[in-house]
Amino acid sequence: MTSIRELHQQLVNKERSAVEITTEALERINAVDEQVKSFLQVTADHALETAKKVDAKIAKNEEIGLLAGIPIGIKDNMCTTGIKTTCGSQILANFVPPYESTVTQKLKDAGAVMVGKTNLDEFAMGSSTENSGYQVTANPWDLSRVPGGSSGGSAAAVAASECVVSLGSDTGGSIRQPASLCGVVGLKPTYGLVSRYGLVAYASSLDQIGPFARNVEDAAILLGAIAGYDAKDSTSINTPIPDYTQFLKPSLEGLTVGVIDETFGEGLDPVVAKTVQDAIAHLKTLGAKVVNISCPRFRYGLPAYYIIAPSEASSNLARYDAVKYGIREDADTLIDMYTKTRAKGFGNEVKRRIMIGTYTLSAGYYDAYYLKAQKVRTLIKQDFDAGFEKVDVLVCPTSPTTAFKAGEKTSDPLSMYLSDLMTIPVNLAGLPGMSIPCGFDEQNLPIGLQLIGNVLEEGNLFQVAYAYEQSTDWHNQVPPLK
Ligand code: GLN
């Protein structure tokens, strides 16, 4: 499978042009996307135009960056000037942003070739991509199963080789869980490391953009390109961005890894448990010291999240009022116009979250729910802080199960919410988290190992992920897709 570095070498050696590489990606999308349905929109003209510009630079022997000419998919909740951005919602069916998100602007500047906008659960609310207002994405490893969510389109597109890398967003696990279910690398950076400017807001204190890739180095290269201070995002961290590829070393000597005890309890598929334990044992052989860590308040993450995220969502989604953005249902009064438009434009899960969030923020319930959840959030952060006094990286499963069947959990929101049991605490604490492939179950479905780092210590995650990847073969497996 071709990596960013290999493609870059081919480009600078003039063995292949950016137009050829782009055309190959577009042909692959043509061949498989009818089955996988990763893309809501393929931006072929835009992609070929970008590729031509890269080729013109190469022809003039101008220097090009690593991402120049590399096909990339973008989750359709990041604004792209002149290119429709739906957020997976019918309410934004006709929304063409007049401005560019910071991440896509950075990629444009780097010469990366956006091949399309990928499918997602409506407003990034979900764990299976079945809440999309447009289509259901399939898992490339088994088309009857879900790719995970909410960034299921971006994960599936990379797993199915429809693009080299992609961007997703992660509020409670939406990069790591689909990465795990699709057998690719997915990273949620430290809160504030990557600008959220132009990312359609779901829960602003939790949302973070990050990369999907088929190998760790590609993820490190992509993170380096999108990270960095942005005055347009008030939560952006002003810190120097290292070259993340400097952390890609084969040994884990001197590094301490902590296994989170509480994550190996009830609800965890025994095959996932065994596979993740084997992966942890493998880290020892690479030189890591492995200890057990207790995060006793971790299990309150899920209930706290389902107060905080809907509260923020209910406030963020108030802007879809039929006036400023998207579709409009005409009516005789202003209130009727609002309600008719929102009733038609939002799907059931989004409505459910708006109702929960409006309730938890209402006078009389605010203290009992919202404020209480914020206190729980602090306690979870304290558990992590205590853990990172003893270890460099925490590890646990990414998802309690492998990919489930489409339709299996759609009528039971609580069982769907449980998919993110192990990823949510990381968002609540603002920490970086990564999922890497670490094996398969008996049905040949991928299993993910989650690595969690302290604030801004993405480097440690890359080191562990790379050493593990280079000494195993999981990342070389490809889905049985024709
Ligand atoms: N599944 C979680 C939710 O529905 C997380 C989604 C996300 O990270 N965007 O809220």
pLDDT tens digit sequence for 142-171: 999 999 999 999 999 999 999 999 999 999
pLDDT value, residue 482: 74
| 150 in active site | yes
Ligand 1 centre distance from Cα of residue 85 (Å): 19
pLDDT of residue 1 exceeding 70, the answer is no
Ligand 1 centre distance from Cα of residue 406 (Å): 17
Residue 338, H or E segment: helix 334-345
Render pLDDT for 55-89 as a digit per residue (tens, 0 to 9): 999 999 999 999 999 999 999 999 999 999 999 99
**Ligand 1 closest atom vs CA 427:** 8
Mutating to test ligand 1, I would choose from 87, 130, 150, 170 the residue with most ligand atoms within 8 A of its C-beta, which is: 150
**Ligand 1 closest atom vs CA 126:** 4
Ligand 1 centre distance from Cα of residue 354 (Å): 14
264 in Cβ contact with 231 (< 8 Å): no
pLDDT value, residue 154: 99
Find the farthest-apart pair of alpha carbons in the chain and give their distance in angstroms, rounded: 70
Decide the pairing of beta strands 393-397 and 256-260.
parallel
Alpha helical stretches, state H, 127-214:
152-159, 176-182
196 in Cβ contact with 316 (< 8 Å): no
Of 243, 225, 279, residue with least CA distance to 450: 279
Confidence band, pLDDT 50/70/90 cuts, at residue 265: confident
Mutating to test ligand 1, I would choose from 121, 125, 207, 399 the residue with most ligand atoms within 8 A of its C-beta, which is: 125
| 75 in active site | yes
Whole-structure pTM value: 0.98
Which residue is catalytic, options 17, 37, 38, 75? 75
Render pLDDT for 392-429 as a digit per residue (tens, 0 to 9): 999 999 999 999 999 999 999 888 999 999 999 999 99
CA distances from 197 to 31, 99, 121, 206, 219 (A): 34, 10, 20, 14, 21
More confident residue, 263 or 1: 263
| Average pLDDT for 308-314 | 98
What residues does ligand 1 touch, defined as CB less than 6 Å away? 124-127, 150, 170-174, 202, 309, 420
Ligand 1 centre distance from Cα of residue 126 (Å): 5
| Average pLDDT for 8-29 | 98
Handedness of CA 118, 122, 124, 129 (dihedral sign): negative
464 in Cβ contact with 451 (< 8 Å): yes
Q: Put the strands of the sheet holding 208-213 in their side by side order.
A: 39-42, 113-118, 71-75, 165-170, 208-213, 185-188, 433-440, 446-453, 393-397, 256-260, 289-293
Which residue is catalytic, options 132, 150, 399, 435? 150
Handedness of CA 33, 101, 351, 297 (dihedral sign): positive
Ligand 1 centre distance from Cα of residue 174 (Å): 5
Confidence band, pLDDT 50/70/90 cuts, at residue 267: confident
144 in Cβ contact with 406 (< 8 Å): yes
pLDDT value, residue 266: 84
Mutating to test ligand 1, I would choose from 122, 154, 171, 312 the residue with most ligand atoms within 8 A of its C-beta, which is: 171
For ligand 1, atom 10: residue with the closest CA: 125
pLDDT value, residue 191: 98
Render pLDDT for 119-132 as a digit per residue (tens, 0 to 9): 999 999 999 999 99
pLDDT value, residue 325: 87
Which residue is catalytic, options 174, 195, 399, 419? 174
Phi, psi of 212 (to 5 degrees): -115, 140
**DSSP type of residue 397:** E
CA torsion, ordered 96, 102, 108, 110, to nearest 10 deg: -170
**Token pair belonging to 138:** 């399939």
**Ligand 1 closest atom vs CA 175:** 8
Render pLDDT for 166-199 as a digit per residue (tens, 0 to 9): 999 999 999 999 999 999 999 999 999 999 999 9
Mutating to test ligand 1, I would choose from 87, 119, 121 the residue with most ligand atoms within 8 A of its C-beta, which is: 121
Angstrom distance (rounded) from CA 133 to CA 95: 14
**Ligand 1 closest atom vs CA 349:** 4
**Ligand 1 closest atom vs CA 305:** 10
For the chain, give the mean pLDDT: 97
For ligand 1, atom 5: residue with the closest CA: 172
**Ligand 1 closest atom vs CA 309:** 10
Residue 188 — left, alpha, or beta (φ > 0 → left; ψ -120 to 50 → alpha)? Answer: beta
**Ligand 1 closest atom vs CA 174:** 8
Ligand 1 centre distance from Cα of residue 417 (Å): 8
Ligand 1 centre distance from Cα of residue 444 (Å): 25
| 399 in active site | no
**Residue written as tokens 């005409």?**
330
CA angle 424, 428, 434 (to 5 degrees): 55
Render pLDDT for 430-481 as a digit per residue (tens, 0 to 9): 999 999 999 999 999 999 999 999 999 999 999 999 999 999 999 999 999 8
Angstrom distance (rounded) from CA 238 to CA 451: 24
Ligand 1 centre distance from Cα of residue 248 (Å): 30
Angstrom distance (rounded) from CA 335 to CA 323: 12
Render pLDDT for 314-336 as a digit per residue (tens, 0 to 9): 999 999 999 988 999 999 999 99
